[in-house]
Amino acid sequence: MQHRNICAAQHLLKGLMALAVVGMTASAATGTIGPRIIIDGLFQQSTNTTSLGSPIPGDCNPSSLCYFLFAPAPSGKQLIVTQVSCTLFVSTGELHSAILRIQRPDGSFVDTAQFLTPTKTAETRFAVNTTTLALIDKKLRPVLEVQATVSAQIFGSCAIAGQIIVAP
């Protein structure tokens, strides 16, 4: 069973980048939260849906702060996010930070955050590929908050992966 879960996790991670690349083709202004793919309790989901004032989708242009929105945890379930992978672009400046946050339905955030490290991979492109551990309770939403050093157009695609379990 453990070998089967490891193989499923490897399969999900291979598909993670493929989903991120596919997600890059959609308009950042309209954005798309991809379907949550679940295999033997493991899940992955991609998004290029951005927001200036989460949870309302919108274009991050110009801004120094942008949110990438994922779908909320399903009713009666919890998500355990163990991997975050993104390709992010800024029109000018640098990416200062990337933070995995947990958002309530009213738009406020839970008082916990996972600080991730963006890596510059080209003049205006940054990557985030981080192992993490975040428990997203039922109906709460994972959100990636990114901050640039100056006001710029921010866009890209992100994916999360982990486990989905029945909420106690």
pLDDT in tens, the chain (168 residues): 444 444 444 444 444 333 333 333 333 445 788 888 888 989 999 999 999 876 778 888 899 999 999 999 988 999 999 999 999 999 999 999 999 999 999 999 999 999 999 999 999 999 999 999 999 999 999 999 999 999 999 999 999 999 999 998
Residue 110's domain comprises: 2-166
CATH number at residue 70: 2.60.120
- Total domains in the chain come to 1
Alpha carbon distance 22, 47 (integer Å): 10
pTM of the predicted protein model: 0.81
Cβ neighbours for 141, distance < 8 A, ≥ 6 positions apart: 55, 69, 70, 71, 72, 73, 102, 103, 105
Where would I find the H helices in the chain?
2-23
